[in-house]
Homo-oligomer: A and B are copies of this chain.
């Protein structure tokens, strides 16, 4: 009965003795390197060197380069949220009563975020890594994507109760009807991602393609 934590075969490091200093330095190094050189040309050795950290310190705490970057990214988001909201990091979805306006505002903000050069490279890299690696993808979805989607779901459910959305509609599908096309254009670069597109999406999705009788 030697080990406190999981008795699994691989050595479980003692997280209470972990160096906060190193952790922060690794986050910063990872993000800056991905921003400068791109994800593919960012290496664990490079992160360690820039962070002034031994390679083993990275391998001890993360299973892969993608995992490091994901955590760094989550941390970035938390810090931004903390700085902005002051609260516990929970963004709120606007509810002015005008569903279309609210959705357009949020989708426009999302567009702005997606094309912001500061976030674009690491976001794309993480998304791509998650597409190929299911485990990483699951973490990516759980930590970064799903929380946002839940906000949409909440707003749409409220709209449904207010009678602004038909009864038979599954709010989850409705969310994807809006977010899916945005994501599609961003990831695949088929056509420019603009505010106008965001507005068009909302109008189409709410009004439907079929003519109103």
Tell me the A residues contacting B by CB distance below 8 Å.
38-40, 99, 124-125, 127-132, 134, 137-138, 140-141, 145-146, 149, 156, 163-167, 169-170, 172-174, 176-177, 179-185, 187-191, 197, 200-201, 204-213
Contact = CB atoms under 8 A, between A and B. Distances in A.
Given A141-B189, A184-B176, A188-B141, A166 B131 contact: no
Contacts of A156: 209
B145 A190 contact: yes
Interface of A, helix, strand, loop or mixed by DSSP: helix
Contact of A132 (B38, B167, B208, B210): B38
A88 B177 CA distance: 34
Contact of A206 (B141, B145, B209): B209
A189 B138 contact: yes
Contacts of A164: 210-211
Contacts of A191: 172
Contact of A166 (B146, B176, B207): B207
A204 to B, nearest CB: 6
Q: Which of A39, A176, A209 has the most CB of B within 10 A?
A: A209
Contacts of A169: 204, 209
Query: In this complex, which of A134, A141, A167, A188 has the most chain B Cβ atoms within 10 angstroms of its Cβ?
Result: A188
Contact of A182 (B134, B180, B197, B204): B180
A204 B38 contact: no
B128 A210 contact: no
Nearest to A159: B209
A131 B38 contact: no
Given A131-B128, A164-B210, A146 B177 contact: no
Given A165-B209, A165-B211, A180-B184, 17 more contacts: A40-B132, A124-B131, A125-B132, A131-B188, A141-B190, A165-B210, A166-B208, A166-B211, A176-B181, A177-B201, A179-B181, A180-B182, A180-B183, A181-B181, A205-B209, A208-B210, A212-B212
